C-alpha cells in the first residue's frame, strides 16, 4: 500500500497545489544568472511529530537571493505544493511535514525564477517512533554499592550509534556569528567546521540527562564539559560544539537498546573521570588568571617608567582581589 505523508504548510499566503510540478520546458528561468539551492531537513522526525523542510536560495558565490517572482515547490508522490516564503535575516522558504507511520521519504525541491537558473534538490528523512533514555551517572565504589549520583559535574551526555555512516549537514547559522561580532571577546561558534557525525545529546542536570533516540542498536556514551549560559545549541543531531577546547570523554563503549521503549540507565564512573575534567578546567582557568595578572603588571610597569614598586602594588592588589572572588571562579 502506498504510504501517505501529510504536508502541512505554515500558511501566510494562499496555497497552490497541482498534480506534478511544471516541467523544465515550461519553467521561466534565466540561464544567465547562476544559482544554487541549499535544503535542510533533520535526518529523523518522530512519528506524529511535525518538522520543517527549509530551503535557501543563493547565487553561485553563496550570496543570499531575494526575488519576488521566485517560487519554490516541494514535490511528493506526484503532488506539487508551493513552499512559504519568509523575508527574515536570511530569506528562506519553508514547509512543515509529518507522518503517522514509520517510513523513509524522499522530497524533491524545485525552484522557478524569471531571473535565475532553475534548481532541483532531493532530500531524505526517516520517520521513526522515538523513545527516551534517561542516563544517571553514579559514583563507583569498590563493591559498586554506592548510589550517590553526580549532580552537575558534567554539562552534557551524548550518544553515537555504532557503524554510523550518516553525516549531518547542519543548517547554516553563520549569520548568528555576524550578529555578535561587535561584542568584545566574542568567539565564533557557528561559522567553523563541525564534527558532523550523528550524535544524540541531552543536558546533564540534577543528576541525569534525558536523550531522545529514534533507532534501536548499540551506542557509545560520552561526556561533554562545555556549556554556554544564555544560548541553546540549535542542532538536535550534533552534540554541542561551542568551543574547540571543550573536554570530551567516552565513558561506555557499548550501550544496547533492543526495543523502542523508555529506558533508565545508571552508569558507574570512578573519580578519574571527575579528576580529568576538573584538572583540565582548573588548569585553563589558572592560565587565564595568570595571563591577566602578567598583562596588568606589564601595563603598570610601563606606565610607571618601569618602577618596580608599581609592579609590587598591582601584584598585591590583584591577588588580594582574586582571593576574594576565587570561590566564584573555581
CA distance 64 to 57: 6
pLDDT tens-place string over residues 254-302: 999 999 999 999 988 876 666 666 666 666 677 888 898 899 898 888 8
pLDDT tens-place string over residues 151-183: 776 789 999 999 777 767 655 555 455 555 555
221 near 267, Cβ under 8 Å? yes
pLDDT tens-place string over residues 99-127: 999 999 999 998 887 778 888 889 999 99
**Every domain of the chain and the residues it spans:** 6-128, 131-269, 284-329
CATH topology of domain 131-269: Immunoglobulin-like (2.60.40)
6-128 against 131-269: fold identical: yes
Mean pLDDT lowest among 31-45, 118-132, 178-192, 195-209: 178-192
User: What's the grid cell of residue 82?
Assistant: 508551493
Superfamily (CATH) of domain 6-128: Immunoglobulins (2.60.40.10)
Amino acid at each position: 500500500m502506498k504510504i501517505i505523508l501529510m504536508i502541512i504548510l505554515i500558511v501566510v499566503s494562499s496555497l497552490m497545489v497541482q498534480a506534478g510540478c511544471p516541467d523544465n520546458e515550461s519553467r521561466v528561468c534565466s540561464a544567465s544568472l547562476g544559482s544554487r539551492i541549499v535544503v535542510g531537513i533533520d535526518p529523523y522526525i518522530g512519528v506524529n511529530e511535525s518538522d520543517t523542510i527549509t530551503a535557501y536560495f543563493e547565487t553561485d558565490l553563496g550570496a543570499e537571493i531575494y526575488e519576488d517572482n521566485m517560487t519554490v515547490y516541494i514535490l511528493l508522490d506526484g503532488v506539487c505544493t508551493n513552499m512559504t516564503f519568509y523575508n527574515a535575516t536570511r530569506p528562506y522558504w519553508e514547509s512543515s511535514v509529518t507522518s503517522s507511520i514509520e517510513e523513509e521519504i524522499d522530497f524533491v525541491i524545485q525552484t522557478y525564477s524569471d531571473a535565475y537558473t532553475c534548481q532541483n534538490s532531493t532530500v531524505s528523512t526517516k520517520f521513526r517512533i522515538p523513545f527516551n533514555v534517561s542516563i544517571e551517572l553514579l559514583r563507583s565504589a569498590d563493591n559498586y554499592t554506592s548510589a550517590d549520583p553526580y549532580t552537575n559535574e558534567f554539562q552534557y551526555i551524548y550518544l553515537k550509534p555504532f557503524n554510523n555512516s550518516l553525516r549531518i549537514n547542519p543548517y547554516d547559522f553563520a549569520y548568528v556569528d555576524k550578529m555578535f561580532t561587535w561584542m568584545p571577546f566574542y568567539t565564533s561558534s557557528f561559522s567553523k567546521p563541525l564534527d558532523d557525525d550523528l550524535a544524540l545529546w541531552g543536558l546533564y542536570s540534577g543528576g541525569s540527562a534525558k536523550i531522545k533516540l529514534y533507532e534501536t542498536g548499540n551506542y557509545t556514551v560520552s561526556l561533554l564539559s562545555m556549556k554556554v549560559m544564555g544560548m541553546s545549541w540549535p542542532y538536535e543531531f550534533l552534540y554541542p560544539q561551542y568551543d574547540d577546547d571543550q573536554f570530551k570523554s567516552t565513558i561506555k563503549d557499548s550501550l544496547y537498546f533492543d526495543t523502542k521503549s523508555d529506558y533508565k540507565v545508571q552508569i558507574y564512573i570512578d573519580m578519574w573521570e571527575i579528576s580529568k575534567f576538573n584538572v583540565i578546567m582548573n588548569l585553563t582557568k589558572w592560565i587565564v588568571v595568570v595571563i591577566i595578572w602578567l598583562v596588568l603588571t606589564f601595563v603598570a610597569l610601563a606606565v610607571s617608567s618601569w618602577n618596580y614598586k608599581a609592579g609590587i602594588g598591582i601584584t598585591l592588589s590583584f591577588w588580594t582581589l582574586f582571593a576574594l572572588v576565587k570561590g566564584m571562579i573555581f
